[in-house]
Amino acid sequence: MTPADPSSNRFRILSPLEFLGKTCLSLVLTLGDFVRFFVAILAGIFRGVDRFGLREMLSQMFDLGTLSIPVVMLTGFFIGAVLVIEAYPQFHALGLASRLGSVTVLSVVKQIGPVLTGVMLAGRVGGAMTAELGTMRVTEQIEALRSMAADPVRTLAVPRVLACVVMTPILTVFSDILGIFGGWLIAVHVQGINNDQFWHFARVGVDIYTINTGLIKALFFGLAIGAIACYKGFRCGNGAQGVGRACTEAFVSSFIVILILNLVLALLLTNIYVMVWPNQPPIL
């Protein structure tokens, strides 16, 4: 390829086009590569993990849990509390302050819990898992695995993705509980809403399907976070710089994917709800 003369007009017009073309091409190629990787992970999940993989999975779950439970609970508590503080004047003006119970619990269980947990984990996992796998790649440990006839996707990626899939819903439960607690604390003990009314509307507003909606979301977030973190680690560039960049990219990609998944799943799960219970309007 010969570089075009920088002074010609053709260069000026082509260059942004060329840039766009190259960006799109690399985006499509990366996406294709990721899909192949993802399919390999799914295949690995259905084939199950061996003894080594199980150990790896449990230790990853332990790391995820101990790293994240306090943070997830702390953020859950504060966001739940602030939610009620911000919503109270509006509801009070309408004379519906007693329904704050269902608003809090619904928002926390369906939205705030899973998304908050997902984002926290994306940061944690982007930092820890991607860095670990990236370092393994850079120091040829992944090639060493392959040279010993072991499949790195099966031995390293599948246990990690499974750990994320299991732990995200569990952490979401912790976040939910603390979020509701934070909301309740403000509503009942600061704004003076009747305790029984708070819980009454909380119970009416939230059925099992709603709780499952949140947990199903969390499950998919976990899948996305784990798969992206492993993918970025496996494709990490050379040197410490490569590892650092892989971590950042893993976090940013997971974050975007969580937002998109959240929207898609919200649409999908609400529609399913309406299909299954056609006569019951979605509460609130």
Partner 1 sequence: MIQPTTDMPDQPIIRFADVHKRFGSLVVLDALSLDIPADQTTVVIGPSGAGKSVLLKHIVGLLQPDSGNVYFHQQRINHLSERQLEPIRKRIGFLFQMGALFDSMTVGENIAFPLRHQGIKSESDIQQVISEKLAVVGLSGSEKKMPADLSGGQKKRVALARAIAMDPEVVLYDEPTTGLDPIRADVINELILKLKEELKVTGIVVTHDMASAFKVADQIVMLLNGKIIAQGTPQQIKTMEDEDVRHFIEGRANAEDLKALHRL
Which spans of this chain sit near partner 1 (rule: CB under 8 A)? 51-52, 132, 136, 139-141, 143-151
User: How near is the Cβ of 235 to partner 1 at its closest, in Å?
Assistant: 16
Nearer to partner 1, 150 or 252 (CB): 150
User: How near is the Cβ of 57 to partner 1 at its closest, in Å?
Assistant: 13
Beta-carbon contacts of 128 under 8 Å, excluding residues fewer than 6 positions away, are: 63, 67
b/e 15-47 (16+ beta carbons within 10 angstroms → b): eeeeeeeeeeeeeeeeeeebeebbebbeebbee
Nearer to partner 1, 104 or 155 (CB): 155
Nearer to partner 1, 10 or 51 (CB): 51
> In this structure, what is the dihedral angle of CA atoms 215, 216, 217, 218, given to the nearest 10 degrees?
50
Nearer to partner 1, 2 or 279 (CB): 2
User: How near is the Cβ of 171 to partner 1 at its closest, in Å?
Assistant: 23
User: How near is the Cβ of 140 to partner 1 at its closest, in Å?
Assistant: 4
CA distance 228 to 238: 18
Nearer to partner 1, 74 or 145 (CB): 145
User: How near is the Cβ of 271 to partner 1 at its closest, in Å?
Assistant: 41
